[in-house]
Amino acid sequence: MHTAASLRDSLTDCGVTVPIDATPLESGYVMPAEWERHSATWISWPKNPYSFPKEILPEVEESYLGIITALAKGETVNLLVDDELAAKRIESIIESRGINSNNVRLHRIRTSDVWFRDYGPIFVKNCKTGNIAYTHWEFNAWGGKYDDLKQDCTVPKSMPLQGLPKFDVPMVLEGGSIDVNGLGTCLTTEQCLLNRNRNPSMDRGRIESYLRDYLGATHVVWLGNGLEGDDTDGHVDDLARFVSKDTVVCAYEEDESDSNHAALEENFRILENATDQAGSKIDIVKIPMPKAVVYEGQRLPASYTNFYVANGAVLVPTFRDANDDEALGVLKRLFKTREVIGIDCRSLVYGFGAIHCVTQQQPA
Distance of CA 325 to the CA centre of its chain: 23
Average pLDDT across the chain, whole number: 94
Q: Is the pLDDT of residue 338 over 90?
A: yes
**C-alpha to C-alpha distance for 2 and 93, rounded to whole angstroms:** 41
pLDDT for residue 130: 96
Catalytic site includes residue 357? yes
Region at 233 (left for phi over 0; alpha for psi -120 to 50; beta for the rest): left
Comparing 96-100, 261-265, 285-289, which segment has the lowest mean pLDDT?
96-100
Q: Strand 185-189 relative to strand 76-81: parallel, antiparallel, unpaired?
A: unpaired
Q: Note the pLDDT tens digit of each residue in 288-323.
A: 999 999 998 999 999 999 999 999 999 999 999 999
The mean per-residue pLDDT over the stretch 344-354 comes to: 98
Residue 52 CA neighbour count, 13 Å, CB half? 24
- In this structure, is the dihedral angle defined by the CA atoms of residues 225, 230, 235 and 238, taken in order, positive or negative? negative
CA-atom Rg of the chain in angstroms: 19
Q: Which of 153, 250, 345, 357 is catalytic?
A: 357
**C-alpha to C-alpha distance for 357 and 34, rounded to whole angstroms:** 13
Q: How many helices (H) and strands (E) does the chain have?
A: 11, 19
Q: Note the pLDDT tens digit of each residue in 186-234.
A: 999 999 999 999 999 999 999 999 999 999 999 999 999 999 999 999 9
**φ and ψ at 117, to 5 degrees?**
-55, -35
Q: Is the pLDDT of residue 274 over 50?
A: yes
**C-alpha to C-alpha distance for 290 and 316, rounded to whole angstroms:** 13
**C-alpha to C-alpha distance for 42 and 35, rounded to whole angstroms:** 15
- Give the whole-number percent of the chain exceeding pLDDT 90: 93
Q: Is the pLDDT of residue 7 over 50?
A: no
Alpha helices by DSSP H, listed for the chain, are: 4-13, 57-72, 84-96, 116-119, 141-144, 155-158, 190-193, 204-215, 261-272, 324-334, 355-358
Q: Is the pLDDT of residue 353 over 60?
A: yes
Per-residue burial over 178-191, b = 16 or more CB atoms within 10 Å of its CB, e = otherwise: bbbbbbbbbbbbbb
Domains of the chain: residue spans and CATH: 4-363 (3.75.10.10)
pLDDT for residue 162: 87
Other beta carbons less than 10 A from residue 148's beta carbon: 11
**C-alpha to C-alpha distance for 317 and 305, rounded to whole angstroms:** 8
Q: Report the chain's terminal Cα–Cα distance, integer Å.
A: 26
